[in-house]
Structure 1
Amino acid sequence: MGQKEDSRGMVIFSVSFYIVTALIMVFVNKWVLNSVSLPFTLLWFQVIVAVILLHLTNFFGKLQLPVIEKQKCIELLPLISINILGLSFNTICLQYVDASFYQVARALILPFTVIFSYILLNQNSSNKILLACLIVCIGFFVGVSSERLTISIIGIIFGICSSISTALHAIVIKKSLNVVKGNTMDLVYYNNFMSAIAFLPLIFLFSEQNQLLKLFIKNPITNQYSMEAKTFLIGILVTGFFGFLINIAGFLQIKVTSPITHMISSAFRGVVQTILGYLLFGDLLTTGRVGGIFLILFGSCIYAWFKDQESKQVQNISNIDKKVYDKLERGDSLDDDCDRIEIVEENEK
């Protein structure tokens, strides 16, 4: 009983931890981007802070960081490239759309994941899964079409690009784990370290360094930095810290929760994000936006439920086949359907 309570407590903690860190990341990023248009500089500082915190954790013996190897860096280039694109698309999308609409703009992650799983991994999806994806797509179009006159088209385009890159990231990360022998924290370190290098040329490519230098020039009259500079400085420290935490939070949630719990917690986060967007930034909550978000979250939840049921069915079949095999190995006779039904019933208990 005590062990079950501890397990339940860990699930509640991990889910809450993930939701809080993710929400803080979104809203602090939006707060900074509303004041300063430096998306790539913001992302660079975030990964730099995450790398520094990882080294501090290593220094105090809480984590062992890997030695950077050239061959592993080369093998991880696809993951890093998609990660850079994903973070960039996410941030630029957030810059152009309301925090409450962010959920709608990036809603096509699930359908694209199913499409890429079929194209790249040759994984077929059941009709139930396709139905869930259809509901999500309808939610996206309801949310977008209802606000076509008030929502930035650029924000929606970057939201779709973000959905594509995030879907590809989920697929590529599976192969990338093999490069670091399944060590998730090693992958987190490589990801942040290489991303910090990759974002530097983007800062200069889009001439953000000039705006950054102007930002930190003191006002000659008051001899103080501008409010935008202070906002940017606070923003990079807060999001850098929580960017480091969200790596741990995501790993912890995946480790101690089921996919359906993860999806439901993401749906709950979407609802809270919409409400907070309305309260903190005065975002509009039109009928179309609310309806679109509801359909997206509903489709995501039933997708998770369908996947969970399918996984259990596969597991049950595997268990049944193992028990049949064990009987045959012992030399016991297998009385066709009767014996197989008995094993099924025993397994279901």
Structure 2
Amino acid sequence: MKLDTLSLKYVQIFFVVVAYWIISILTVFVNKTLLTSDKLDMDAPMFIAWFQCFVSAIICFTMSRLSKVFPNTVHFPGGNPFNSTTIKHVLPLTILYILMISTNNYCLKFVDVTFYYVGRSLTTVFNVILSYIILGQTTSISCLLCCFAVVCGFFLGVDQENLSGSFSLVGTIFGVLSSFSLAFYSIQIKKVLPEVSNQIWLLSYFNNLYASILFIPLLAFEAKELNNFSRMFELNFLFLMIIGGICGLSIGYVTVLQVQVTSPLTHNISGTAKSCFQTILASFWYNQWKSTMWWFSNAVVLGGSAAYTIVKNREMEKKYRPVVYSRC
């Protein structure tokens, strides 16, 4: 019995969402293992970020070359990463990208995976603030109330994490910096995409290539740790590093794919649900049992984030609905 078109669409959506969840969660757990595992004992978050950017750049370069040799089989947007105009427009974004992934790694190093989502939950709040400062965009009272709920959930989560004895001030600060840089990056990416013909893969290629180069002088800060690390060429370590690089590149692709087969609203709700599942999975995986109030703080953050997404989506629909009707 053949599936009809609608059934095939639902099957496609299911597998895309599952792929997004698996890759996103796997990325977090792989990086956490690299950063804190006693078996690896590696204290070099920037080196891990550099290596994963390097792997991503190599994959994109290979795809770019293959697309020219096998144009009917491999499709990858073409572009010269060393064009002076391209460098001028993309390089500032790459600096933000480096800040974003570096602070993210430092946050993940110092906080538990169970607290990771709450520790980086202020992205929406910073997005609202930066959109007003940079773009002059105002936000409705309803959205501000949702942001207020996220902030309350964040501070409640910090309080409960402190009571449980696993709170890390350094990790939380890096989480806030990661939230800020991610929000800033998300705003700036809209300005830079037209400079690369709105090709997300091409921008990812350039970003990872430039980051691979710019990270090199920063590795001097971790020279001591790298010199003392004895497992640099062990297969287990290299395997995890390569998997992390592949996941880091893949998450960008599956994120865009999920938006394409569903909608921005569904994508954000899926991301919120994924974070909830990730937190529960981490509590079992690392055998970390939390209090009722700790879980309530997570629920407040998740609820505030989901509510913001839904409210914002409805406001956008109301804003653009007259335009759509006028063209019919």
Give me the TM-score of the superposition, normalised by structure 2: 0.89
Determine the C-alpha separation between the residues in 2 that align with 1:60 and 1:286.
Answer: 53
Matches within 5 A, 1:144-293: 144-149=158-163, 150=165, 151-204=167-220, 206=221, 208-216=222-230, 231-293=236-298
Which has the larger displacement, 42-51 or 305-314? Answer: 305-314
Matches within 5 A, 1:15-26: 15-26=17-28
1:274 is paired with a residue of what secondary structure?
helix
Across the aligned residues of Structure 1 and Structure 2, the Cα RMSD in angstroms comes to 1.9
**How far did 1:14 drift?**
2.2
Gaps of 5+ in 2: 68-73
1:121 aligned to 2:121? Answer: no
Matches within 5 A, 1:70-85: 70-85=84-99
- Alignment-mate amino acid for residue 209 of structure 1: A
- Alignment-mate amino acid for residue 189 of structure 1: Y
User: Counterpart of 1:341?
Assistant: none
**How far did 1:319 drift?**
3.0
Q: Deviations over 1:88-117 (max 9, x none)?
A: 110000000000100110010011101111
Matching residue within 49, 59, 66 for 1:60: 66
Determine the C-alpha separation between the residues in 1 that align with 2:78 and 2:46.
Answer: 26
Determine the C-alpha separation between the residues in 2 that align with 1:251 and 1:316.
Answer: 24
Determine the C-alpha separation between the residues in 2 that align with 1:76 and 1:177.
Answer: 9
Matching residue within 102, 113, 123 for 1:99: 113
CA contact (8 A) 1:79 1:172 kept: yes
Which has the larger displacement, 8-17 or 119-128? Answer: 8-17
1:313 aligned to 2:298? Answer: no
Gaps of 5+ in 1: 217-224, 324-349
Larger radius of gyration: 1
Matches within 5 A, 1:40-59: 40-59=46-65
**How far did 1:286 drift?**
2.6
CA contact (8 A) 2:77 2:199 kept: no
1:76 is paired with a residue of what secondary structure?
helix
2:218 is paired with a residue of what secondary structure?
helix
User: Counterpart of 1:9?
Assistant: 11
- Alignment-mate amino acid for residue 135 of structure 1: A
1:148 is paired with a residue of what secondary structure?
helix
**How far did 1:215 drift?**
2.0
**How far did 1:5 drift?**
2.9
Identity of aligned residues (%): 33
**How far did 1:257 drift?**
2.3
**How far did 1:231 drift?**
4.8
1:67 is paired with a residue of what secondary structure?
coil
**How far did 1:230 drift?**
5.2
Which has the larger displacement, 289-298 or 105-114? Answer: 289-298
- Alignment-mate amino acid for residue 272 of structure 1: F
Determine the C-alpha separation between the residues in 2 that align with 1:4 and 1:237.
Answer: 37
Q: Tell me the number of residue pairs that the alignment of Structure 1 and Structure 2 aligns.
A: 312
